[in-house]
Structures are given as C-alpha cells and as structure tokens.
A and B are shown apart, each in its own frame.
Chain A
Amino acid sequence: MTPLLQIDGLYVAFGARDRWREVVRGVDLRIAPGEVVGLVGESGSGKSLTALSIMRLLPPGARVSSGRITFAGTDLATLSNRAVNARRGSDIGMIFQDPLTALNPAIAVGRQIVDSLRTHQELSRKAAWARAIELLDLVGIHRPAERAHAYAHELSGGMRQRVMTALAVCNDPKLLIADEPTTALDVTVQAQVIAMLDRIRRELGIAVLFISHNLDLVAGIVDRVSVMYAGRVVESGEVEDVFDTPRHPYTRQLLRCIPRLDGRTGPMPTIPGLPPRLGTELSGCSFASRCQVAQERCRLEMPPMRRKGGHLSVCWEAPT
C-alpha cells in the first residue's frame, strides 16, 4: 500500500547563522492509511520535533535541514504557507500534551470546533454548531449541548483532552498526530482517554501517529512502533516483535526499566549514565556509552541499519 505519510532522512537542527546543531538525525517513518504507528523515546530524543516538522510547526530557531516529508503524495516542503495552513486541522489533525494551553481560554469549546469546521468546510453557523455537538458526543462528553458552551478552564483534564480530540478530528483528517496526549492525566483518566482515542480512530478510519515516552501505553494501541534515541530511530517494527524480541540494546534496557506491578522488590533496573547532550557530535553509536554490550567498534563507527523482515535495528550487535 502507498504510505499516507512518508518521512525520509529527516534532519532537524537548532541554531543560528553558521552554528547549527542537529537534534533529529536521519529519521525515516512510514504510515499507511488507517495504521497506528507509535513513536517512542525519552525527553530530548527528537520525537516531538519529528511530529512538529510534519505540521511545519517547528519552534523558532529550529529548521528542517534536510530530508523529505511526503503526505498523500505531496512533498510538504514545496507547499506554500497558505497551502500548509489549509492542511493543518483538515488533512492532518493534532492533539497536544497540554490541552489547557492548546485550547483558546477565551472562547467556548463548542465555538472553537465551529470555527475550525467553518474554516475548512462550507457550513452554515447552525449546521456547524450541530456538528460540533455531534463531535463532542462522539468523544464521550456527556450532555454535549451544554458542555459546548463551557470554557476550557471549566473542564477537567480528561474532558479537555476529549475536546482536543473532537477539534482534531472535526474535518475528517486522514492522519491524527497525538503528541503525549495523556502524559498530563491521571492513570484512570488516561485509560479512558486512550480507550476513547482507539474507538474514534476505528470508527473514523484515521491513521494515527502516537507519540509517547510510555512504552507500556503505546504497546496497547499501536500496530507498529519506532523507538528513538538521541535523534535517531534505533529500532522499528511490528509492535509485537519490538516488545517480545527487542533487537536494540536500548530498547531491551528501556523495557527492563519500566516499573511494573509484578510483585518484584529490591533495586530498580536502570540504564547507567545519561543520554548525550543535545546536538553533540558523535562518531559512533550514540547509545554506546550506556550500552551493556558495546564494543570498541560501537564507539568509533556508526552502526548500520539491519533488517529482519520488517524489524529494523541500528546496531552492530543485532543479528540479521
């Protein structure tokens, strides 16, 4: 199947004039229509910047220094700002981590959905309002007709994230980017929001790029997953393969670190050391200094991408 979204060799750099430091270094990613792909990594791994590059929403001071992002056959870099704007919120919807800053505090939530609907579609005010209420109902908000008049601060965190979802899917996007959508929520609410997201994307047939630092959460909903470390995808594949037989030492060690309710006590497993500072130039593998199986070669030479079916790993050690 032709991918809906295809990212090839994406580099994102921060800086000014002639001092640019690369923080995303050669990310490849493919999402087929209707597919759910997870992008997992710790803070500073470049996962959010990758997502923002798709929307062309990189913060000031950051730029895509090379690479190609193709969405439904169009190279996004060639589009004018106007054309990109037309796609934001229609072809591609996005949910952010903190709905309180992403929603407009001074406009009722229903009105915000109406505004988005009327920006992208020819709809009467009345029809748009009716559709907004339908959408709020779809994302599981009780008494949507009343809640549509509420302001963001009057809603709970879970409710706000439901509103964000309604807003993101209101123009029938083909792709939904969810950037840490439940990180700010309590676990019980998180479970509800995840169940809601999963139901919505099935009902509407939307492809989802799900970004999170929580591997256990991602495993529950995605088809494929890419693991990022220090700006690179170090492992990717079907979620079952990556979790059951992780091939990259980072993935293996990270999976071991997740605190689980397995009745174990005693010291928690950790990954010694720290991730490299952002933008540090490294000759070899960026995980080498923390890796348990690193050899001399790992520190000197960049490991190749090794493939086993659809399961990729960027490591010297990974068997082919």
Chain B
Amino acid sequence: MSEALLELQDIRKQYWLRQPLGQRLRGASKPSVAAVDGVTLAIPKGSVFGLVGESGSGKSTLAQIMVRLIKPTSGQLRFRGTDVLGMDSASSRAFRQGVQMVFQDTGSSLNPRKRVGRTVVEALNARGATAAELPRLLDRVGLDVTLAGRFPHELSGGQRQRVGIARALAMAPELLVADEPVSALDVSLQGQIINLLQELNDELGLTIVLISHDLAVVARVCSALAVMSRGQVVEEGAPQQVLRSPRHAYTQSLLAAVPRGLDGRRKADRGAHAGTVTGTTS
C-alpha cells in the first residue's frame, strides 16, 4: 500500500459522565464512556477511505479528531509522518489548511446571513488567495457562477453541499474529511455529490475520508473501508472483500439489514416465513 497521509494510532476519546454526589463523596471512580476506544488507522495518500458505522459508533467523533476539532484523550495523530497533536501554532495552521472538512447538515454549516460566494471567498482569503479564483472553484464543484450571490436558503440541498465542498477546496487541502455528505440529500442527487468527490480524488489527487452509515454508497466509491462499532474499528479491508465475506458479526448484521427491494421480498417468500429479521443492536 502507498504511504499513509494520515495515521491514527490507538486514538481514544473519553467523555466523563456526571456522577451523583454521594458516589463522588465515597470516592468511587468516575464513570466514563469511550466514544472512540483505541482506533488505529492509516489513510493512504490518494485514496478514498470509507468509514462506516451506525449512530453512536464513534465515527463522527473520529472525524472531528482527524481534523483536530476535538482533542483525543490519548493516542497519536500523524499527518505526513509528523505528529500533529503537539504542534506549535504555526505548524497547526499549515495542518488546518491541509485538512478540511465537509459537513452533513449544510443548513447549519453555512452562514445563513452571508451570500455563498462570500463564504467561499473568505476561505480563499484565509489561504492568501483572492476572489479571482472564485469562478474557477465554483465551476470545479459544478455550481453556476451566478449562484454566488445567493443566500444558502435560496439554494437546494445539493447546491448547498457543493458550496460546502467549494469552501473546503478553497484551502487547497490534501485531505478532505466528509462526514455524511449525502445523507440529507435525495437519492437522485446523492450520486451527483458522490461522483463529484470521486472526480476530485481522480483529478486533483485529493485524499478523501468518506464517512457514512450507508454501506452501499461507501462500497461503491472507496478503495479502503473500515467498519466501526462501539468506538472500535471491527473490520477493515478492501470494500469488495469486506462485503463478500464479512468476518465480524456486526458487519454481517449491517449487511443483512440493508433493504433489498423486491429481491429481499422474493427471498423471504421462498424462505416461507423463516422468522423475522433480528439484529444485534437495539
């Protein structure tokens, strides 16, 4: 495998829970949950890396750790081989430029009172570039330049997500962490955004971490896949291999639960009421 752009080593993120006063006085150990519980991953340079899991599995927490929006309790994070967590502010700045994020909810991740062009230009300025680059950038993400003067609420969900991507690209990043970028979009538009991400990977060599609960979307585009459950990576490998022969029980239940349309119905009819679907989580 090619060299790793981002390496996570034994990353843990622990949250402390509130404790009743009585217990605290008795000196009981503080209760905690580990949202991310010892994750070791290497994101190969130039790859589209898929991260799959259900809500509460820790995948979004891990995404925020990757871009340093939150600090892990322990573990190491290396970007291009350099330790990131102990960086001074100057190198932190370079890191933040190199690693950008795209969010799920464009309704809350874009400033509703700024025209979207302005939002993207601010990002350009932060890198030291000028607004002259705006048309090229909007064109790159498939947005008409005339839309730059619109406010977020005047755009459709798909267009807003393109703005979010343009804002991230304005920093000329090497790594893009996309946290559920299409789960708020309609099926007919999901493909457009996923294809855009794939093009960016092909043409700019941008490394992408694609986080989703939708196994089918991730499997389609990524070159490597990790499945998370309860804060841990339970399965990792090439997508086709993971889908064909999932080893972990959780991955199997995840695969079994994907609705399969008429195929699933016919299979169920043939199986002549072989019982109801049961999963492992509730």
Contacts and interface: CB of A to CB of B under 8 A. Distances in A.
B279 A191 contact: yes
- Chain A interface bracket (under 10, 10 to 19, 20 to 34, 35 or more): 35 or more
B31 interface: no
B261 A243 contact: yes
A211 B189 CA distance: 20
B155 to A, nearest CB: 10
A10 B188 CA distance: 26
Contact of B278 (A159, A192, A216, A269): A192
Nearest to A260: B216
B195 interface: yes
A213 B187 contact: yes
B221 A265 contact: yes
B54 interface: yes
Interface stretch (A51-59, A88-96, A116-124, A250-258): A250-258
A159 B240 CA distance: 33
A249 to B, nearest CB: 12
Contact of B156 (A191, A263, A264, A274): A274
A263 B198 CA distance: 17
Given A191-B277, A195-B276, A274-B156, A261 B215 contact: yes
Given A199-B276, A270-B192, A274-B158, A187 B240 contact: no
Question: Taking chain B's interface residues, is the majority helix, strand, or loop, or is none over half, making it mixed?
Answer: helix
Contact of A263 (B158, B159, B243, B257): B243
A244 B54 CA distance: 31
A149 to B, nearest CB: 19
B273 to A, nearest CB: 10
A239 B261 CA distance: 10
A242 to B, nearest CB: 10
A186 B188 contact: no
A187 B261 contact: no
Contacts of B198: 267
A131 B225 CA distance: 48
Contact of A42 (B188, B194, B213, B253): B188
A216 B261 contact: yes
A83 B54 CA distance: 43
25 contacts: A186-B54, A186-B213, A187-B213, A187-B254, A188-B257, A188-B279, A191-B256, A199-B276, A214-B259, A215-B187, A216-B261, A220-B265, A240-B262, A244-B262, A253-B188, A258-B261, A259-B220, A263-B219, A263-B244, A267-B195, A268-B190, A270-B189, A270-B190, A270-B191, A272-B192
Please list the 9 inter-chain residue pairs (A to B) with the smallest Cβ-Cβ separation, ordered nearest first.
A268-B191, A270-B191, A188-B279, A259-B216, A216-B261, A219-B261, A186-B54, A271-B188, A42-B186
Interface of B: 54-55, 156-159, 186-192, 194-195, 198, 213-217, 219-221, 240, 243-244, 253-262, 264-265, 268, 276-282
